[in-house]
Chains A and B, each alone.
Chain A
Amino acid sequence: MTDPTFPIRCRNLWKIYGPGAAALAATHAPGPDPETLASRGLLAALRDVTLDIGKGEVFVIMGLSGSGKSTLVRCMTGLVPPTMGDLLIDGENLRDMSPDRLIEIRRHKISMVFQDFALLPHLTVLGNIAFPLKVQGIDRESRERRAAELVELVGLAGRESHFPHELSGGQQQRVGIARSLITNPEIWFLDEPFSALDPLIRHEMQDELMRLQATLNKTVVFITHDFDEAIRIADRIAIMRGGRVVQVDTPEGLVLAPADDYVAAFTRKIPRHRVLRVASVLGPVSAGATGDPVRNTALVGDVAARVLAADAPLPVVDGGGTIVGSLDRQSVIGTVFGVNA
Chain B
Amino acid sequence: MAAAGLHDARQPRPGPKVTRAAALSLLAGLLILAGLLWAAASVLPGWVWRVPAAWQPDLAGTVNRAFTWVARRAEIGSLAVRDITRAVASLIEVPLDLVRGLLVEGFRLRLGSGLRFEIAALPWWALTAVWGMLAHRIGGRPSMLLVLGTCLYFLVFGLWTPAMLTLASVSLSVAFGAVAGLLLGAWAYRAPRLDAGLGAVYDIMQTLPVFSYLVPILLFFGFGPVAALTATVIYAMPPMARNTTLALRRLPPSVTDLATMVGCTPRQRMWLVLLPAARHGLLAGLNQVIMLSLSAVIIASIIGAGGLGNDVLQGLKSMQLGRAFEAGVGITLLAIVLDRLSRAQALRRPAHGAEGHGRGRRLGWQVAALLLAGLVAAQLFPPLRAFPEMLVVSTGRMLDQAVAWANIAFEAPIGALRDGMVRHVLRPVKDALLALPWLAVTAAAVLAAARIQGLRLALATLAMLGFIALSGYWDQAMISLYLVLVSTLVAMLIGFPVGLAAGLHPGLDRWITLVIDTLQTLPTFVYLIPVVMLFGLGDFPAMVAIVLYALPPAIRYTKDGIARVPASLIEAADMAGCSPRQKLAYVQIPHALPEIMLGVSQTLLMAFGMLVITSLVGTRGLEQETLVAVSKARVGEGLIAGLGISFLSIIADRLISQGSQRLRQRLAGPGAGQEHP
Residues in A lying within 8 Å of B, measured CB to CB: 74, 77-79, 103-107, 110-112, 114-118, 120-124, 131-132, 134-136, 161-163, 165-166, 183
**Across the interface, which residues of A come within 8 angstroms of B349, CB to CB?**
121, 163, 165
* Given A114-B258, A121-B277, A162-B352, 13 new contacts (CB under 8 A): A77-B261, A103-B264, A112-B257, A118-B258, A120-B258, A120-B273, A121-B279, A122-B350, A135-B264, A135-B268, A161-B352, A161-B356, A163-B351
Beyond A115-B254, A161-B352, A161-B353, whether A107 also contacts B273 by CB under 8 A is no
A124 to B349, CA, bound (A): 12
B272 within 8 A of A: yes
- Please state if A166 and B254 are interface contacts (CB–CB under 8 Å): no
- Please state if B258 and A106 are interface contacts (CB–CB under 8 Å): no
- Please state if B279 and A79 are interface contacts (CB–CB under 8 Å): no
> A104: which of B261, B263, B268 is its contact (CB, 8 Å)?
B263
- Please state if A116 and B261 are interface contacts (CB–CB under 8 Å): no
> B272: which of A74, A115, A134 is its contact (CB, 8 Å)?
A134
A132 to B262, CA, bound (A): 5
- Please state if B263 and A135 are interface contacts (CB–CB under 8 Å): yes
- Please state if A120 and B351 are interface contacts (CB–CB under 8 Å): no
- Please state if B352 and A118 are interface contacts (CB–CB under 8 Å): no
Closest to A78 in B: B260
- Please state if B350 and A106 are interface contacts (CB–CB under 8 Å): no
Q: How far is the CB of A81 from chain B (nearest CB, A)?
A: 12
- Please state if A118 and B254 are interface contacts (CB–CB under 8 Å): yes
Beyond A122-B350, A166-B351, whether A106 also contacts B262 by CB under 8 A is yes
**Across the interface, which residues of A come within 8 angstroms of B265, CB to CB?**
103
**Across the interface, which residues of A come within 8 angstroms of B260, CB to CB?**
78-79, 106
**Across the interface, which residues of B come within 8 angstroms of A114, CB to CB?**
254, 257-258
**Across the interface, which residues of A come within 8 angstroms of B577, CB to CB?**
none
Chain A binding surface SS class: loop
**Across the interface, which residues of B come within 8 angstroms of A77, CB to CB?**
261
- Please state if A163 and B352 are interface contacts (CB–CB under 8 Å): yes
Beyond A116-B252, A134-B272, whether A111 also contacts B261 by CB under 8 A is yes
The 8 A CB mask of B538-560 against A (1 = contact, 0 = none) is: 00000000000000000000000
**Across the interface, which residues of B come within 8 angstroms of A116, CB to CB?**
252, 254
Q: How far is the CB of A178 from chain B (nearest CB, A)?
A: 13
Beyond A111-B261, A161-B356, whether A118 also contacts B268 by CB under 8 A is no
The 6 A-B pairs of least Cβ separation, nearest first, read: A107-B263, A106-B263, A118-B254, A132-B262, A114-B254, A161-B352
The 8 A CB mask of B321-363 against A (1 = contact, 0 = none) is: 0000000000000000000000000000111110010000000
Beyond A162-B352, A163-B352, whether A118 also contacts B255 by CB under 8 A is yes
List, sorted by A's number, 6 A–B pairs whose CB atoms are closer than 8 Å.
Answer: A79-B257, A103-B264, A107-B262, A121-B279, A135-B263, A166-B352
A67 to B553, CA, bound (A): 46
Q: How far is the CB of B259 from chain A (nearest CB, A)?
A: 9
A132 to B475, CA, bound (A): 64
**Across the interface, which residues of B come within 8 angstroms of A135, CB to CB?**
262-264, 268, 272
A6 to B563, CA, bound (A): 59
A212 to B277, CA, bound (A): 29
Beyond A114-B254, A118-B258, A132-B262, whether A163 also contacts B350 by CB under 8 A is yes
Q: How far is the CB of A131 from chain B (nearest CB, A)?
A: 6
Q: How far is the CB of B255 from chain A (nearest CB, A)?
A: 5
B52 within 8 A of A: no
A165 to B277, CA, bound (A): 13
Beyond A79-B257, A163-B349, whether A120 also contacts B277 by CB under 8 A is yes
Q: How far is the CB of A169 from chain B (nearest CB, A)?
A: 14
A123 to B261, CA, bound (A): 18
**Across the interface, which residues of B come within 8 angstroms of A104, CB to CB?**
263
B276 within 8 A of A: yes
A124 to B356, CA, bound (A): 10
**Across the interface, which residues of B come within 8 angstroms of A103, CB to CB?**
263-265
Closest to A103 in B: B263
A183 to B268, CA, bound (A): 17
**Across the interface, which residues of B come within 8 angstroms of A112, CB to CB?**
257-258, 261
Closest to A112 in B: B261
Q: How many residues of B contact A (CB 8 A)?
A: 23
Closest to B262 in A: A132
A106 to B254, CA, bound (A): 15
Q: How far is the CB of A119 from chain B (nearest CB, A)?
A: 9
Closest to B257 in A: A79
**Across the interface, which residues of B come within 8 angstroms of A162, CB to CB?**
352
Closest to B259 in A: A135
Beyond A111-B261, A112-B261, A115-B254, whether A120 also contacts B352 by CB under 8 A is no
Closest to B255 in A: A118
Closest to B264 in A: A135
A124 to B355, CA, bound (A): 12
A54 to B276, CA, bound (A): 38
Q: How far is the CB of B465 from chain A (nearest CB, A)?
A: 37
A135 to B267, CA, bound (A): 11
The 8 A CB mask of B208-224 against A (1 = contact, 0 = none) is: 00000000000000000
> B263: which of A74, A123, A132 is its contact (CB, 8 Å)?
A132
Closest to B273 in A: A120
The 8 A CB mask of B154-169 against A (1 = contact, 0 = none) is: 0000000000000000
A118 to B263, CA, bound (A): 15
Q: How far is the CB of B263 from chain A (nearest CB, A)?
A: 4
**Across the interface, which residues of A come within 8 angstroms of B356, CB to CB?**
161
**Across the interface, which residues of A come within 8 angstroms of B257, CB to CB?**
74, 79, 112, 114, 118
A12 to B652, CA, bound (A): 55
**Across the interface, which residues of B come within 8 angstroms of A107, CB to CB?**
262-263
**Across the interface, which residues of A come within 8 angstroms of B261, CB to CB?**
77, 79, 106, 110-112
Q: How far is the CB of B223 from chain A (nearest CB, A)?
A: 43
**Across the interface, which residues of A come within 8 angstroms of B262, CB to CB?**
106-107, 111, 131-132, 135, 183
**Across the interface, which residues of B come within 8 angstroms of A163, CB to CB?**
349-352
**Across the interface, which residues of A come within 8 angstroms of B254, CB to CB?**
114-118
Q: How far is the CB of A200 from chain B (nearest CB, A)?
A: 24
Closest to A133 in B: B262
Closest to B350 in A: A163
Q: How far is the CB of A111 from chain B (nearest CB, A)?
A: 7
Closest to A125 in B: B352
A39 to B272, CA, bound (A): 44
**Across the interface, which residues of A come within 8 angstroms of B263, CB to CB?**
103-107, 132, 135-136
The 8 A CB mask of B229-272 against A (1 = contact, 0 = none) is: 00000000000000000000000101101101111110010001
Closest to B277 in A: A120
A132 to B260, CA, bound (A): 11
- Please state if B279 and A122 are interface contacts (CB–CB under 8 Å): yes
- Please state if A120 and B276 are interface contacts (CB–CB under 8 Å): yes
A104 to B268, CA, bound (A): 14
Closest to B279 in A: A122
The 8 A CB mask of B618-643 against A (1 = contact, 0 = none) is: 00000000000000000000000000
Contacting residues of chain B (32-69) with chain A, CB-CB under 8 angstroms: none
**Across the interface, which residues of A come within 8 angstroms of B277, CB to CB?**
120-122
The 8 A CB mask of B347-382 against A (1 = contact, 0 = none) is: 001111100100000000000000000000000000
- Please state if A124 and B352 are interface contacts (CB–CB under 8 Å): yes
Contacting residues of chain B (270-311) with chain A, CB-CB under 8 angstroms: 272-273, 276-277, 279
**Across the interface, which residues of B come within 8 angstroms of A123, CB to CB?**
276
**Across the interface, which residues of A come within 8 angstroms of B279, CB to CB?**
121-122
A79 to B277, CA, bound (A): 20
**Across the interface, which residues of A come within 8 angstroms of B351, CB to CB?**
163, 166
Closest to B258 in A: A118
Q: How far is the CB of A302 from chain B (nearest CB, A)?
A: 37
A120 to B263, CA, bound (A): 15
A114 to B268, CA, bound (A): 20
**Residue among A103, A117, A118 with the highest chain B CB neighbour number at 10 A:** A118
A114 to B356, CA, bound (A): 28
- Please state if A122 and B276 are interface contacts (CB–CB under 8 Å): yes
Q: How far is the CB of B577 from chain A (nearest CB, A)?
A: 43
**Across the interface, which residues of B come within 8 angstroms of A106, CB to CB?**
260-263
Closest to A162 in B: B352
Q: How far is the CB of B593 from chain A (nearest CB, A)?
A: 36
